[in-house]
């Protein structure tokens, strides 16, 4: 498990990964409280309830209360248990690397009305694995360089 702490336009966010990198969660800080904002999951699990039955998924809250509701999910396609690398860059973009040979980039799309970062799976991009690599397990990205 690892935790990224990022400040985006002076607002602090926490991005912890699950054990074995099975998910990346997003929390917005409200004073000293961490309020759930989003979850990127590489495959289906038993928690939280009502997630898509199969495949990778994204949960982003719609009403700011931090509770997980049925209409907050987006399916991201086939499950990929080979995702090991997660990165949150200084601009709030999320980078994901599966061993299967590509990089997925989820753009930070600004804040919603409640101060949580917005991510939409359909707005992500897939980048081919750069040469000379033949396997990706970690990623680090510096947008200013």
pLDDT at 93 over 90: yes
Region 113-132: mean pLDDT is 89
| Cα–Cα distance, 119 to 123 (Å, whole number) | 8
DSSP 127: E
Bond from prior residue into 110 cis (ω within 30 degrees of 0):
no
Instruction: Determine the pLDDT at residue 47.
Output: 83
Q: What is the DSSP letter of 34?
A: E
Q: What is the mean pLDDT of residues 7-22?
A: 87
Mean pLDDT of 62-70: 76
What tokens were used for 8? 């985006």
Percentage of residues in the chain with pLDDT exceeding 70? Answer: 99
């Amino acid at each position: 498990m690892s935790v990224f702490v990022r400040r985006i336009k002076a607002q602090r966010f926490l991005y912890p990964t699950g054990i074995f990198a099975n998910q990346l969660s997003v929390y917005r800080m409200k004073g000293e409280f961490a309020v759930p904002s989003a979850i990127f999951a590489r495959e289906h699990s038993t928690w939280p309830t009502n997630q898509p039955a199969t495949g990778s998924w994204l949960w982003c809250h719609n009403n700011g209360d931090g509770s997980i509701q049925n209409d907050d999910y987006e399916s991201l396609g086939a499950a990929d248990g080979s995702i090991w690398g997660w990165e949150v860059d200084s601009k709030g973009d999320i980078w994901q690397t599966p061993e299967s040979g590509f990089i997925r980039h989820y753009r930070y799309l600004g804040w919603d009305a409640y101060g949580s970062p917005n991510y939409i799976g359909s707005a992500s991009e897939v980048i081919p694995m750069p040469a000379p690599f033949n396997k990706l397990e970690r990623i680090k990205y510096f947008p200013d360089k």
